[in-house]
Structure 1
Amino acid sequence: MAASSEHEWRDWLRALPKAELHLHIEGTLEPELMFELSRRNGITLPYADVQAVRDAYRFTDLQSFLDLYYAGAGVLVTEQDFYDLAAAYLRRAHADGVVHAEIMFDPQTHTARGIALDTVFAGLARALREARDTLGMSSCLLLSFLRHLSEDDAFATLEAALPLRETYADLWIGIGLDSSERGNPPEKFARIYARCAQLGFRLVAHAGEEGPPEYVRGALDTLKVARIDHGVRSSEDPALLQEIIRRQVPLTVCPLSNLKLGVVHDLREHNLARLLRAGALVTLNSDDPAYFGGYVLDNYIASAEALDLSRDELVTLAANSLKASFLPPAGRHALLDRLWAAAGRD
Structure 2
Amino acid sequence: MTDLTAFAHGLPKAELHLHLEGTLEPELKFALAARNGIPLTEKTVDEVKATYDFTDLTSFLAVYYPAMQVLQTADDFFDLAWAYLQRAHAQGVVHAEMFFDPQAHTSRGVPFADVVTGYRRAAVRAQDELGISAELILCFLRDFSAEYAMATLMEALAYKSWIVGVGLDSDERGNPPEKFAAVFARAKAEGFFLTMHCDIDQVGSIDNIRTVLTGIEVDRIDHGTNIVEDPALVALAIEKGIGFTTCPVSNSFVTEQMKSDEIVALLRQGARVMVNSDDPAYFGAYIGDNYVAFAEKAELSATDLVQLAINSFEASWLTAGRRAAYIARVEDFATAAGVPLPARA
- The SS at the match of 1:156 is helix
| Residue ranges of structure 1 left out of the alignment (5+ in a row) | none
The answer to whether structure 1 residue 323 and structure 2 residue 318 are counterparts is: no
What residue is the counterpart of 2:229 in the other structure? Answer: 236
Residue of structure 2 equivalent to 1:308: 299
- Listed one character per residue, the Cα deviations across residues 226-281 of structure 1 (whole Å, up to 9, x for unaligned) are 0000001111122212211232211000011111112xx13475421121112211
1:138 is matched with 133
The normalised TM-score by structure 2 is 0.94
Answer yes or no: is the 8 Å Cα contact 2:146–2:180 preserved in 1.
yes
**Conserved? CA contact 1:255–1:270, under 8 Å:** no
**Does residue 186 in structure 1 map to residue 177 in structure 2?**
yes
Structure 1 runs (4+) deviating above 3 angstroms are 267-270
Q: Secondary structure at the match of 1:180?
A: coil
The CA distance in 2 between the partners of 1:210 and 1:268, in whole Å, is 10
Q: Say if 2:100 and 2:137, in contact at 8 Å, map to a contact too.
A: yes
Match runs of 1:12-51 below 5 Å: 12-51=7-46
Question: Distance in 1 between the 2:269 and 2:153 partners?
Answer: 38
Number of equivalent positions: 335
1:220 aligned onto 2:213: yes
Describe the SS at the equivalent of 1:228. Answer: strand
Instruction: Give the 3-state SS of the residue equivalent to 2:270 in structure 1.
Output: coil
CA distance in 2: counterparts of 1:83 and 1:297, whole angstroms: 23
33-42 vs 217-226, which moves further: 217-226
Q: Using the TM superposition, give the Cα deviation of residue 26 of structure 1 relative to its aligned residue in structure 2, in angstroms.
A: 0.1
Partners of 1:270 and 1:89 lie apart in 2 by: 29
Which consecutive residues of structure 2, in runs of 5 or more, have no partner in the other structure?
A: none
In 2, distance between residues paired with 1:340 and 1:299? 20
Shift of 1:92: 0.2
Assess if the C-alpha contact under 8 Å between 1:268 and 1:306 holds in 2. no
Aligned letter for 2:265? R
Q: 1:159 to 1:269 in 2, by over 3 A?
A: closer
Q: 2: distance between equivalents of 1:282 and 1:272?
A: 7
Contact 2:9/2:91 (<8 A) preserved: yes
- Structure 2 counterparts to residues 145-294 of structure 1, below 5 A: 145-165=140-160, 169=161, 171-211=162-202, 212-262=205-255, 265-267=256-258, 270-294=261-285
**For residue 126 of structure 1, what is the amino acid of its counterpart?**
R
Shifted more, 81-90 versus 246-255: the winner is: 246-255
Please say if residues 173 and 202 of structure 1, whose CA atoms lie closer than 8 Å, have aligned partners that are also in contact.
Answer: yes
Return the offset for 1:48: 2.7
How many percent identity over aligned positions? 49
Deviates more, 1:195-204 or 1:41-50: 41-50
Q: Deviations over 1:85-121 (max 9, x none)?
A: 0000000000000000000000000001110111001
Correspondence 1:297 to 2:288:
yes
Q: Aligned-residue CA RMSD in angstroms?
A: 1.5
Residue 112 of structure 2: aligned partner: 117
